[in-house]
């Protein structure tokens, strides 16, 4: 894997992240997206739950995306394909958090009801696995050579975010075990406070109680929904900046 792979094709420019992200065949992409959506709508109309209705469309979409990334990997190399996949996946995940944020702040949903587009996926396990997955891919990118100041910031941010989700997941399992010992099987123990935010460890620790730390706007006062909105917005933006910086450096490097 070499940095020269970014400039290896004359047909498609790798001058920017967007050049890599945009569809190679817009009409084909449109047709695939539209058919995926149509299948989903029909599925809902015949009474399927959201996740079942979305499954065939997601399958079609997923096959198309994987095909595209496979081609990119062949043309530009693993690092390029990995960057594109990561930004795409994290972008999709970010949309879920944006939807939650909109549901809560703009549409007047309650906190409990603001679970994004695929509410079934808004669980501690999903968030825990997802963030560890993202962090591992970032570490892989680092090993493959994506090294710039933004990449370091991104790595730090993602590590902190993952630690928060690890704390949340461990607490979730502990509370769940306690509830199960009481035969409280119907309580899901989702949405517990983490390290940051209102009622989080930082805000409620005996060490910080009554100090300025427990009233830092946002950091120790925001709802969990807001905290994770900003975690993910930050992570996605840093990811895009780091990738863009890397790509532009590589182009510069290979054209000199």
Nearer to another protein by Cβ, of 40 and 197: the residue is 197
Please name the residue that has the structure tokens 């690092």. 79
Nearer to another protein by Cβ, of 18 and 107: the residue is 107
Q: How far is the CB of 103 from another protein (least distance, A)?
A: 10
| Closest C-alpha to 86, from 169, 166, 20 | 20
Joined together, the tokens standing for residue 138 give: 């970032």
What is d(CA 3, CA 141) in angstroms, rounded to the nearest whole number? 12
Q: How far is the CB of 189 from another protein (least distance, A)?
A: 6
Nearer to another protein by Cβ, of 84 and 168: the residue is 168
What is d(CA 29, CA 33) in angstroms, rounded to the nearest whole number? 6
Nearer to another protein by Cβ, of 8 and 199: the residue is 199
Nearer to another protein by Cβ, of 213 and 237: the residue is 213
What is d(CA 223, CA 203) in angstroms, rounded to the nearest whole number? 12
The C-alpha angle with vertex 100 and arms to 243 and 121, in degrees rounded to 5, equals 80
Provide the angle, in degrees to the nearest 10, between the axes of the packed helices 149-181 and 224-255: 150
Q: How far is the CB of 19 from another protein (least distance, A)?
A: 28
Give whole-number Cα distances, 153 to 3, 135, 198, 235, 237, in Å: 21, 13, 25, 9, 11
Q: How far is the CB of 88 from another protein (least distance, A)?
A: 31
Nearer to another protein by Cβ, of 27 and 212: the residue is 212
Write down how long the chain is.
256
Q: Contact positions toward another protein, by CB under 8 A?
A: 104-105, 108, 110-113, 171, 174-175, 178-179, 182-184, 187-189, 192-193, 199, 201, 203-204, 209-211, 214-215, 221
Answer positive or negative: Cα dihedral of 21, 26, 29, 34.
positive
């Amino acid at each position: 894997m070499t940095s020269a792979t970014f400039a290896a094709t004359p047909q498609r420019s790798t001058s920017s992240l967007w050049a890599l992200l945009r569809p190679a065949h817009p009409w084909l992409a449109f047709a695939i997206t539209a058919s995926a959506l149509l299948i989903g709508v029909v599925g809902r109309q015949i009474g399927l739950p959201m996740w079942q209705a979305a499954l065939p469309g997601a399958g079609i979409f997923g096959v198309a995306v994987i095909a595209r990334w496979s081609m990119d990997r062949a043309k530009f190399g693993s690092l390029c394909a990995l960057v594109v996949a990561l930004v795409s996946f994290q972008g999709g995940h970010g949309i879920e958090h944006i939807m939650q944020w909109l549901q809560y702040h703009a549409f007047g949903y309650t906190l409990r009801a603001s679970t994004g587009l695929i509410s079934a996926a808004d669980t501690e396990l999903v968030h825990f696995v997802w963030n560890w997955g993202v962090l591992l891919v970032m570490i892989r990118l680092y090993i493959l050579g994506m090294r710039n100041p933004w990449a370091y910031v991104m790595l730090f941010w993602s590590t902190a975010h993952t630690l928060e989700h690890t704390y949340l997941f461990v607490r979730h399992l502990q509370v769940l075990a306690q509830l199960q010992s009481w035969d409280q099987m119907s309580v899901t123990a989702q949405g517990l406070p983490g390290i940051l935010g209102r009622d989080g460890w930082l805000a409620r620790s005996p060490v910080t109680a009554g100090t300025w730390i427990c009233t830092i706007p946002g950091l120790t006062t925001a709802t969990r929904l807001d905290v994770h909105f900003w975690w993910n917005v930050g992570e996605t933006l840093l990811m895009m900046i780091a990738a863009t910086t890397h790509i532009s450096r590589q182009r510069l490097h290979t054209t000199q």
